[in-house]
Amino acid sequence: MDLVNTKGKFISFAESECKGNSELYYKLSKQVSGDDTLLKIAATAKAGQPVPNIFLAAVHYLLLKNPGNGLAAYYPSIGKKQVPEIPFPLFRSFCLDNEAVIREIILTRIVQTNVINRCAYLLPVFSKIITEENRPATIIDIGTSAGLTLNFDKYEYWYNNQKVYGDSKVIIKSKITGSTIPALFPITQPIQKIGIDQNIIDPADTDQIIWLKALIWPDQAERFIAMEEALKTEELKKIEFFRAETIPDFEAVILNADKAHTLIIYATHVLYQFPQTQKEAFDAMLERVGQSRDFYFLSVEGTESLLQRYQTREIVIELTQFRDKKKSQTLLAETNGHGNWIKWV
Ligand SMILES: C[S@@+](CC[C@H](N)C(=O)[O-])C[C@H]1O[C@@H](n2cnc3c(N)ncnc32)[C@H](O)[C@@H]1O
């Protein structure tokens, strides 16, 4: 990967993902974008992986494992106090001192963030479908990571600073812009929950949980709390997990779903990690399944093809429905990467 390209990724990460969400990573990413030595290290990431996320997570991971390091005090996730910025010279020298291990981490690990706040749009969509269909449902989360968004029905929801649903220590918060707060229907039907991932995060595996936490931006204390609480929920044990990474394996799990159930498949921030040929094979697989049964597919991505289809620069929430072998596709809403705001269409 050339340095100009890597530099551009850090600038774009700062401007379109961190701005307004993480002041620390905003400043840090801009500083890294101007440092060729650090860009060279970051460029070691595997093809398809979001470079700034994995590079910053690698440093965060090492600090979470070594909280006594001087740099750790500037990470609110570890030092437990907010700071105006992470001192760049200290950050830089930590990276150079730990260059070999950082390269090893970003070469071997993948970005597997599990962003619970994405439930902010899952609950309105799923509760409506399940209520309208009025029968038990099977929900399959492709690229489930630790499976935390599958428990969307167990959390507490606040929209526009108003509590509107549930009672839980896992708090989902979002701002509804340009539309009204969506109707939320009580879920009274049983749901069979299935999570598929190439690498299922096991809540009992300390190292995997440190990596999951390392992927959270260090000044987002609420996300750390939500993650810890969500990992403790008993319902997590009821999810059926499948380790799979190929389209035929996904298809086998999908075709096995109870035909009497409403079937909802979803993927949030996953398909962008598929090479183009795999994405095409995935779409073809959905078409095949649609010829054998009705189902819904909710896709939440910021891939260029979706952005172009809907003429937007925001993350697209799109619902595909197969009914009687016919496909229909609707743009439901636009959002940001973490579901902090949602603009329903
Ligand atoms: C950025 S994470 C998003 C996790 C979760 N969907 C969320 O929104 O919080 C992407 C996930 O997709 C998974 N993934 C990527 N490619 C995959 C593949 N070919 N098969 C299975 N899982 C895959 C990764 O392992 C990772 O857990």
Model confidence pLDDT, tens digit, residues 163-201: 999 999 999 999 999 888 888 999 999 999 999 999 999
How far apart, in Å, are the Cα atoms of 228 and each of 59, 74, 177, 333?
Answer: 20, 21, 29, 29
The string over 292-306, giving b where at least 16 C-beta atoms fall within 10 Å of a residue's C-beta and e elsewhere, is eebbbbbbbbbbeeb
Structural domain for 293, as ranges: 116-202+216-344
What's residue 1's pLDDT? Answer: 62
In the three-class reduction of DSSP (H, G, I as helix; E, B as strand; rest coil), residue 343 is classed as strand
- CB neighbour list of residue 96: distance below 8 Å, 6 or more residues apart: 37
- CB neighbour list of residue 302: distance below 8 Å, 6 or more residues apart: 269, 272, 314, 315, 316, 337
Total residue count of the chain as it appears in this document: 345
In the three-class reduction of DSSP (H, G, I as helix; E, B as strand; rest coil), residue 191 is classed as strand
52 close to 9: Cβ distance less than 8 angstroms: yes
Check pocket membership of 199 for ligand 1, CB cut-off 6 A: yes
Residue nearest to atom 7 of ligand 1 (CA): 114
What's residue 222's pLDDT? Answer: 87
Distance 49 CA to ligand 1 centre (A): 11
Q: Please check whether residues 131 and 279 belong to one and the same domain.
A: yes
Q: Using alpha carbons, select from 195, 199, 205, 202 the residue that is nearest to residue 147.
A: 195
Is 127 contained in some domain?
yes
Domain CATH code at residue 133:
3.40.50
* 161, two tokens: 């600073």
Q: Specify the pairing of strand 326-335 against strand 341-344.
A: antiparallel
338 close to 118: Cβ distance less than 8 angstroms: yes
What's residue 113's pLDDT? Answer: 86
What's residue 47's pLDDT? Answer: 83
Share of the chain above pLDDT 70, in %: 100
Tens digit of each residue's pLDDT (9 = 90 or more) over 272-331: 989 999 999 999 999 999 999 999 999 999 998 899 999 999 999 999 999 999 999 999
Is 136 contained in some domain?
yes
Boundary-marking domain end, from 51, 79, 108 = 108
Q: What is the pTM of this model?
A: 0.90
Q: Please check whether residues 97 and 157 belong to one and the same domain.
A: no
Q: Which residue is associated with the tokens 């929801």?
A: 157
> In angstroms, rounded to a whole number, what is the distance separating the alpha carbons of residues 318 and 215?
26
DSSP 298-338: EEEE--HHHHHHHT-SSEEEEEEEEETTEEEEEEEEEE-TT
Check pocket membership of 115 for ligand 1, CB cut-off 6 A: yes
Q: Please check whether residues 282 and 335 belong to one and the same domain.
A: yes
Distance 274 CA to ligand 1 centre (A): 9
What's residue 2's pLDDT? Answer: 84
Residues of the chain with pLDDT under 50: none
Check pocket membership of 6 for ligand 1, CB cut-off 6 A: no
> In angstroms, rounded to a whole number, what is the distance separating the alpha carbons of residues 173 and 258?
33
Is 78 contained in some domain?
yes
Instruction: Read off φ and ψ for residue 102, nearest 5 degrees.
Output: -65, -45
Check pocket membership of 112 for ligand 1, CB cut-off 6 A: yes
Check pocket membership of 273 for ligand 1, CB cut-off 6 A: yes
Distance 70 CA to ligand 1 centre (A): 33
Is 31 contained in some domain?
yes
Report CA Rg, the chain.
Answer: 20
Which amino acid, residue 341?
W
Residue nearest to atom 11 of ligand 1 (CA): 143
334 close to 344: Cβ distance less than 8 angstroms: no
Boundary-marking domain end, from 78, 108, 138 = 108
Is 235 contained in some domain?
yes
Boundary-marking domain end, from 108, 140, 172 = 108
Count of domains for the chain = 2
